[in-house]
Every structure is written in structure tokens, then in C-alpha cells.
Structure 1
Amino acid sequence: MLSILLLSALSLSLGAYSLPQPTPTAPPIVRVAPALHARATTTVWSSVGCYSDAGSHALTATSLNYAGTDVEYCENWCQTRGFSLAGVRNGNQCACDNAIRNGNGVAAASACSLPCAGDSSETCGGGHYLNVYSARAIASTTTTTTATTTAAPSGSWSSAGCYSDAGSHALTATSLNYGGTDVEYCENWCQMRGFSIAGVRNGNQCACDNAIRNGNGPAAASACSLTCAGDSSEICGGGHYVNVYSFKTGTATTPTSTTMTTTSAPTTTAAPTGASTWSSVGCYTDGASHALTATSVNYGATDVEYCESWCQTRGYSVAGVKNGDQCFCDNAIRNNNAPAPTSSCTLACAGNNNEICGGGHFLNIYQYVATGATSTTTTTSASPSSTGWANLGCRVDSDSRALTGPMQQVSTNTVESCEQFCSSQGYIYAGVEYGSQCFCGNTLANGAGGTTASSDCNMACAGNSAETCGGSYRLNLYSHIGATASATSTTMTSTSSAATSTSSGSSTT
């Protein structure tokens, strides 16, 4: 129904895709705060079709590049940020919004033909085209405990067998890709979100639902033959097949894993290495636009150490606990959230009542600091020189990009947040462009990056109007002083964190 309304309400036309937009008119951004508490509904995603994605993009609220992108990852990533539309393009890019914007319209299905970087059996748009998916809420039929419940329901998991998992998946409510996936991790992950069916596929994917959908049925056991990424002694489905497990209540046993920290660290992200420690940053506000936005989890046994470990294994250097049982991760404190009185963070942690895990709208924040590294995760607007970055001036950019590493387009973009994003990814150059865009790299590429008049960089930063963030095809370029980089390493010598899970390091067109 939503797809019909979208198609009938919008007069849309095809166009060419490029970043940044050639005219300095920032697209409207609509954000809805993610719902992180127990839900009475289940979200189901459905395809809206292939859309053009012109110079002014179809989905503009937020986006990321990630080498493990597939349809389910993008849907989940957008949903946890409160958006109802998810779009995949260029094989490894995910974009979110609540409306299709800027006159982009329906395109031929053949225009979306690139396989997804994280699942070659799925299609993730094209160079100038986007596969769009829409979320809708339906009444949930789950009878198990929802994600915010601190006590797991009494019952046990049992195998339902190997099932087909065609283009329209068998389990569609929610899913994730995780390099430490095994059967028990997936069962626990689904149960904590209130689902009674868990499925593992492709070795590293976990999907949840309360029913097997889209006509998928039992398959030969031999069709499920891939070992689990987190435990090679277990089987985690196949390319188009899923090992399905069902939770039944009423027995005295409980799910096999009481703490997810016993699973192996994701192989797709490099955890910080070397002598290090986590230290408290303090109690912070956490408004409708959250302070830490990269990823989050609700878990009934959350405590400070669990959250720190969960964030660290995913490559993030900032962890925050909230509401007793919520854990948030990022590499910067965002959206103008600021220090709050200690008395605002008073809720005991669900997993350890001797510790404090934030409050209703407040976070206890902790930062990972390697020995010899200085803390840079603040909400203050320090000048580039005071944070160890040198201003290299205004530079020319092109469609091929001067900086070809990871990028992000966010409404909170500032010089400091871009520097920190690039540093956390292991890159020595950071460039801000078109107000809301941040690019990273270790070299200036594609013949771009030449100096130009400083007046060419004349757009205010989206997150701080007192700063300049480039212009149309113009970069304000910064270099991390004293840092080194390797073509095969994404770890900075000045810090030990590398959030390679958030980007692919490939060029964005």
C-alpha cells in the first residue's frame, strides 16, 4: 500500500547520480527517533522497486558505505535509526529517509543490476539507481518476551530444519550480518528482540521472525552446508538456504547464552589493540536525535563492561549505556548532546545493579583510549590545530573523488566530526564538502585535489554554521599531523580503533 501511495503521490523523473549536488540547496532531512523499547508491532519490509538516484539523491537523511551491505543489513540499519525507507545502491551503499525526494522516479528493474557486496545473490541498485524498500508495522503475534525484558522466558530452542530462502526471504522481520554468528548467538539475538523463530544463513547472517514467509519450505539437509563464522563446528545455512530454529516456551531450560560477549569478535572489524583502557566521559544528554548513532542493542544483561566490549568488537571507540539495558556505540558524540549533571544518570544496569546505566534521556558515556593516545571524543569545537590536524586549504574535487576512502553524509557534519570519523577509519586525510559530506583517504586520487581559492569553499557546515565545509565540488582538506597509513591497514598509529564495519573504503560516485 505504501509503495502505491508513494508512486501516486510523487511525480518523478530519471536523472544522473553524482555527489555532491551541483547547486547549493540542501535537501530537507526528516528524522524520527528510533523506537528502542518493547514494541507491540513487528516491522515488515517490502520492495518499492528500482528508482533513479540523480545528483540530488532520492534518499537524503543519512547514508553509509559498508563492504558487508546487503538488503537486510540496510533495512535494519535504517530501521534502528527511525527511518521507514531504505535504499541500496552501487553494491555497497545504504541510504535512509522517510520519503523519496528530489524528483527521482521509478526506473526499469534492469537498471538495478549490481550484486550486493555482502550477499551476491541479492541486488543492490546501480551506479545511478537505487533499490528502495519500505517498512510497515503489523500487529505482532509474538508470545515471547520483548527486547527490554530483563528475564529471559522459560523455554528452549529446537531445530526446524533447513529451509529454502529465495529472493523473498523466509524470515523478514529483522536481520543482521555479524562475523561472530553461530546458532546460539542468533537464537539469543532474536529472542532478545521478541521473536520466536531464528534463522542462520550464508555463514554470518542471522534473521528473525514469528513465521516462515513467502512460500519458502523445507529443503534437503545437504543444502545447508556452510559452517558458522563464529563456530566452525556448527552449520549456518547456505547461499539460498537457512537453518531455522524455533523457540518453545514451557520447559525449565533457558536459552544457551546468557551473555553475548562469549561469542567471538566480528571478523569484519578490527578491535582496538595494544595496551588500552576505557574511561568515563560522564553523563550526557540523549535527546530525540541520539548522542551515539552508529549502532545500538537492547540486552537484558547489559552492564558497563558488556557495552564497552560490544562496541569495541565492532570497531567503535565510544560506548554509552542508557535506560538500564541499552548500549550505544559511535566514534563521536553527535547531535549537540552535551554533559549533564551526574544526578541525571541514576538507573542501575540490568546486568549489574552496582553500576549505573544512564537514565530515560541520559547516557553514561565511556571512551576507549589506547596508551599514549589522547582523548578526542568531545562535543566542543576545538580548532583543527589543537586536535592534531593541519588545514591544507580549499581543494578541487571531481566525480571520481579526490579522497576515495569511506564517506558519510550527515546533518551533524563539522570539521571535527569528519576528522574523527576519518581517523577512526585509519585515514590521514579528511575532507568536508557541500556542508554535510565527509570524505577520507590516504592519498589525493584521480587527478583531483588541486588547490583553489579559499573563497570557493563557502558553505557552512551542517553541524556548525560557524565553520566552513567546502562547497559544490570543493573540499576543505585536513591532514592528521604525525599519523601514518598503510595501503593494507586501516589502523592509525596514533590511536588503536578502526571502525571498518562502517565503510568499505571504496570510491563513492
Structure 2
Amino acid sequence: MAPQRSLLQGAFLLPFLVSSISAFPYNTNSDANSKARDLNLNLLKPRSHFPTLFKRQNTTFTPANTNPSSNPGTRLGCYRDDSASSRLLPTSFTASDTLTLEACAVFCSSSPYFGVEYGRECWCASSSSGFSPTSPSTLAAKVSDTDCSFPCAGNNDQTCGAGERIEVYTNALYRPPMNAQVPGFDYLGCYRESSPRLLPNSLLGDDTLTTAKCAAYCTNLSFPYFGLEYGRECWCGVSPPFDSQKVPETECSMTCAGAPDQICGAGNRINVYEKQMETPADVGDYRYQGCYTDSPVTGEKSLTGKVTYDAAMTLDKCRMTCEKDGYPYFGTEYGSQCFCGTKLYDGPENDDVSDDEDDYPPRALKVLDRECSMRCGGDATNMTNCGDANRLSVYWNGEVSEARNLDSDELEDADLPGWFYSGCHRDDVAQRILTGPSTRSNDMTVETCVGFCNTRGFTYAGLEYQTECYCGNAMDSVNLDEVDGSQCEELCSGDAEEYCGGPRRLSLYTLRNIR
């Protein structure tokens, strides 16, 4: 054994070899998304380490300790590793004159497998390298244990392969990368990327990216969602990803550039996290009720009173608009829309919040608060939510409104005998269904409008859009175009307890014995 050891020691003194476990990592990772490695390092060819010299060693060396007490991993066997273009363990490489099995396990701690070769070389195989101990090619490369006969440079009681022979171990230090847990966020899953992007805001590209760094980046910009992609990309967003684009977790397989124990998406795959929602605060005297679905159809909205639009919408701006006109409900939608209502058409399955008496099929179904996560357009702090697409952030103040259409007894008490409410009808600004005289007033009430038409001898009176009053003696065929009463629930500008139609909708009153 002495001549062999002397020869090995002389070989290890060659100045062009790497001299420490941490120096000159050799990485042959061919992943398309990885950064190109330093060209000088790529020129390092461990296979050129005096192969002729090693091939001349014919002395048989029996492995002295194939399972050291420190247990760096489970030994799988000795394998041929004689192809310069296709290493058995291809992910990364280092060489050291103090190499031990334990040191190689540490160097390859982000890989499930490590191997030792030539007495001083350490090779790693990542989970994406393609190495499998049960693959046909690996099984075909397995050779006798006596072929791996070189003592490890840092521990003569261990063997570290031989010339073109590598001993492969499972790595006891390896921990599979996982989706990191981030305080204050919930992990939603792995999603297929799309165009437009699922989380389209504020890309951060970082070669030291970690999940925590991405979370901090998007949180500082007040975004409730963040996602990791391609190992080094961080994306932010205001809305959740589509469930239809959720894919199996295995499709997000890249590790984070700054944390090999964490998952950061993959090509066109993004790991998405959502900020845990705190219950929104009350606004003035209005208490938060929840996030509700809304219909995109005008005549089937969940809140059917006054509507306003403002790119600089805030919760308080919507509150004041609805409160001023006497509405007990307000809701914000899509960051810029404000809806008022006397009722929330939620249906009995949501505990009948609005006392709608089941007059109409439920439109407002309560959903998770996270579905109302679009920021209010006028909130400079970017911290409050104003619904989302077809989602209402709903607030309520006090008892449900007593607003109503007046019955014939109430009209008779107002010296308008014979008049009665006859439904909600569609109107057209280009061709009014009541073509007689009209009036507008910021103090409009049902009594005011019916009285105005009655004194002028007309048999129909219609109230529209809170302030408008129309008279007529005929309605032609439009009389058949009656719609459900929920479309005529804007409050009269002069009395918050009475309905005065809606946009292009008439609350129609008729003089008895005319129809």
C-alpha cells in the first residue's frame, strides 16, 4: 500500500487541482432557466485528472468502512463513471485534499444523492438531474464494490471511488424543497401561467430570491397576493388566480435561487400566496357585512338603488353618497363602483340579512372575504378593498329601510283618491312611455308627482331616477314591458322612505278604472 499512497500524495500536489471542498464548484446543470456558468469553470474537466496514472493502479483495496458512524447517507454501490460528456451525478462538483464522505454530504446538502470519486472528488445529483438509482442506465453501470478502492483523501478509513469509478450515496442531509410557510400569508397552490399574467404587477427578478423576500417586496407595495416563478421571479397582484388554472404541485418544481430548500414555481408555473385577510373595519355608522356576489346584468344587481362611478372611489365616499340619500346599504365593486340599496338580495340561505321576504331569487351569495380584494381606486394608502369583478364589499347601517311604494290608502290620505301603484316599467330616454308634461325636483316624492299629474287631468304618473316625474294618458304596448319591482328601488330625493323608480325605470301609478 505504501507505493500507492506515495503516488497519490504526489498527484495531489499538482498545482492545477482545486484544493478545498468549497472551491471551484463544477456545475453541469443544463436546466434551461439557469444562469450560464462561468466559462472558465466550465473548462475544468475532472476527467483529465491524470487518468493514465490512476489506471496503472492494480492493487486491490477492500473498502474499510462503507457506512461510517456519522452516517452521511446510505451507500447505493459502486458505478462506472467513464463518460466525459455524461456524468452519472451531473449537478455540481468539487475536489479537495481533505475530502471525506461527511464533507461531500455537506457540499451536496441540496441534492438527494452524492458520490465520491478518484479519492478526492465530490459529485452531486439534484432532484431534477435525471439520476435515478433504479433506472436501467444506472443499473447497467453498477460494478463490483472492489472497483471502488481509493481511500478518501481526508479519511483513510473511508473509500472514495477510484479512477472512473464513483461510489453513490443517498444524502442524509438532504431535505426536499418545500413551499415555505410565510407568517400572515396562506399558500394557495401551483398555477399555470397565462396571458395576461395571473399576478401582473411589479415584477422583481432576483438571483438571491427567497419566498420571504418576495412576500416582503409585494407587502411593501400593499399587494395582497404574491407568486414565485422560474426560480428567480417574484410577481404581485390584487386579485386571486383562477381556480381553473390550478395544476398539480409537482409542476412547480424549481428551487428558489436564494433558498434551495424552497420551491419557486417553474417555467410558466407560479406558486401563489395570499395575504390573510383581516375583517374590514366598519365605515362610519355602517357595519361590514361581508363579500357578496353581484350580477353583471343591470336589472339583476344585488343592490338596486343609486349607482355612482368614480376612478378615485373610497369606502367613505361611497358611504356618504348612500347615507345622504337615506340608503341603509352601500357596496363597492371593481375598485371604482358604488351601489346603494334598501335591500340586499341575498336570499334566506345567507340568514336573510336584508329582509327581502324571498320576493326574488337570491343574487347576492356570500363568499370569502378574499374574493373582494381589489384596492379602492381613491385610497392613497392602498390598504382598503372595494370589491372585485362582480363582487361587492357590503356595509349596512341600522334597521332595514321602510321604503315602499305607496298604497291606495296612503294616496287617499294625501287627497289623491283612486290612485294606486301599478308596477315597475321599462322606460326609454329616446321614446318616453309617458309623453305628457314632466317635472324634476330635488325634493321629489310620490305624492308630489301623482299630485302634479292629477291636477293636470292625466291618468298615469311615473317616477324615475329619484327626481323625475312624467305624466300621460296612454302607454301603448310598453304597458306590457313590466319588470320586477327591484329595478325601481331608488329612493325619492324628497323622502327616503319612498321609491322613485330607477335609471330608465318608472315607478308607475294609475288612476283607478282607467286600465
TM over 0.5: no
- Relative contact order: is structure 1 or structure 2 higher (C-alpha 8 Å, sep ≥ 6)? 1
Bigger share in helix: 2
